Amino acid sequence: MFCSLWDVFCTANLVRQDKAAQDLSKPEDEAVKKEHKKMLAHLTRDVQEYHMNTFQKIVMLAPHLGMLARGNKKQQRELDWILAKMQEIIGQTCSEDLAGMLCLIKHIQSYQNKPRKVQAQLQNSKIKVHVKVHAGVWLALSYASNPPGKDSNPGNVQGGFLQGYLLKQVLRHIYTSPSSVLINDREKTTVCSGNTKLHNMQKVEVEHIAYAFVQACYGISSWDKWSKNDGKYSYCDAYYHTIKAIHKAPDSNWAKSLLEWWNK
């Protein structure tokens, strides 16, 4: 969803060249092999697999791009131009999508009806964001449905709460592996052991959900370096409020079913 197309195609090209170099037998070609290995060494196996999976999905939908990626300099220039245009469109699309995910759940219906108007109101502080986090001001990304929060019910704030698609993908990315985000549920991956196996994590706990929520919020923010606060929004408070929202939920059956959902 959020990727640099240039990085994806560059990695794919390096992997292709590295495989081709393995078949070279001339002594002077050893320098080429070493150069490819050196460049790929900067990318973890997970990142390489993630980029390759993304590349394969793209060229499956647009085979012409795969042909350009293997082409001459003129075709490479054409590819660079196309990728730049695609990245620009992705950026514009993600802008509204991200704003919708970061919209307060109590304003999500208004946002979905008139996104630009509500976005402007939030930016101009005409819609006030309270420092204290409570059920009425949870971010839309924490809710299930597509787009996030679409099916939210003001009379039932727990319906779909903390079951958002992005939360699930972020948690898989952290605790399993980045490439696991690209596979279907219950499908096995061939990557190295993830944090769950390394740390003998048998199930998803409340704290894991809260951590994924915080990382999801930060991951789609405009910050490029970690900070405890995003303006008036405190990630630390969000973490502990999320834990409290589950442990001290008015409906204990909901909290139980939420953990069952995460561990199914």
pTM of the entire structure? Answer: 0.56
Predicted local confidence at residue 132, as pLDDT: 41
First to last CA, the chain: 25
Q: What are phi and psi of 81, to 5 degrees?
A: -65, -45
pLDDT at residue 135, as a whole number: 37
- Between 115 and 182, the higher pLDDT residue: 115
- Phi then psi dihedrals of residue 221, to 5 deg: -80, 180
Sequence letter at residue 37 = K
Q: What is the dihedral of CA 53, 59, 65, 67, to 10 degrees?
A: 100
User: CA-based angle 73:75:78, to the nearest 5?
Assistant: 115
Answer yes or no: is pLDDT of 243 > 90.
yes
Q: Give the integer Cα–Cα distance in Å for 110 and 148.
A: 13
- Which of 192, 138, 170, 163 lies closest to 263 in space, CA to CA? 163
Say yes or no to pLDDT of 109 above 80. no
Query: Binning pLDDT at 50, 70 and 90, where does residue 255 land?
Result: very high
pLDDT at residue 136, as a whole number:
39
Give the pLDDT confidence of 28-62 residue by residue, as tens digits: 466 666 776 777 777 777 777 878 888 888 888 88
Lowest mean pLDDT among 104-118, 158-172, 182-196, 208-222: 182-196
The residue ranking higher by pLDDT, 228 or 153, is 228
Reply yes or no on whether the pLDDT at 2 is more than 80: no
Residue with structure tokens 């948690």?
171
What band does 257 get if pLDDT is binned at 50, 70 and 90?
very high
**CB contact at 8 A, 149 and 105:** yes
Window from 5-19, 108-122, 242-256 with minimum mean pLDDT: 108-122
Token pair of 87 as six digits: 């990245």
**Maximum mean pLDDT: which of 44-53, 66-75, 177-186:** 66-75
Q: Which of these ranges, 8-17, 70-79, 118-127, has the smallest mean pLDDT?
A: 118-127
For residue 233, what are the β-bridge partners?
230
- Is the pLDDT at 188 greater than 80, yes or no? no
Mean pLDDT: which of 73-87, 112-126, 151-165 is highest?
Answer: 73-87
Q: Which two tokens stand for residue 14?
A: 């390096």
Radius of gyration, CA atoms only, the chain: 22
Q: What is the pLDDT of residues 191-226, one digit of tens each?
A: 445 556 656 677 889 999 999 999 888 887 766 678
Q: How many Å apart are CA 76 and CA 186, to the nearest integer?
A: 38
Of residues 133 and 194, the one with the higher pLDDT is 194
Domain edges within the chain = 5-95, 103-263
Q: How far is CA 227 from CA 122, 209, 214, 233, 235, in A?
A: 21, 20, 11, 11, 8
Q: Does 83 have pLDDT greater than 70?
A: yes
How far apart CA 13 and CA 39 sit, in angstroms, is 11
Question: What pLDDT does residue 97 have?
Answer: 62
- Picking from 240, 186, 188, 230, the residue whose alpha carbon sits closest to that of residue 209 is 240
Give the residue-averaged pLDDT of 66-93. 82
Q: Which residues of 47-84 are buried (b: 16+ CB within 10 A; e: fewer)?
A: ebbbbbbbbeebbeeeeebbebbeeeeeeeeebeeebe
**d(C-alpha 61, C-alpha 64), whole Å:** 9
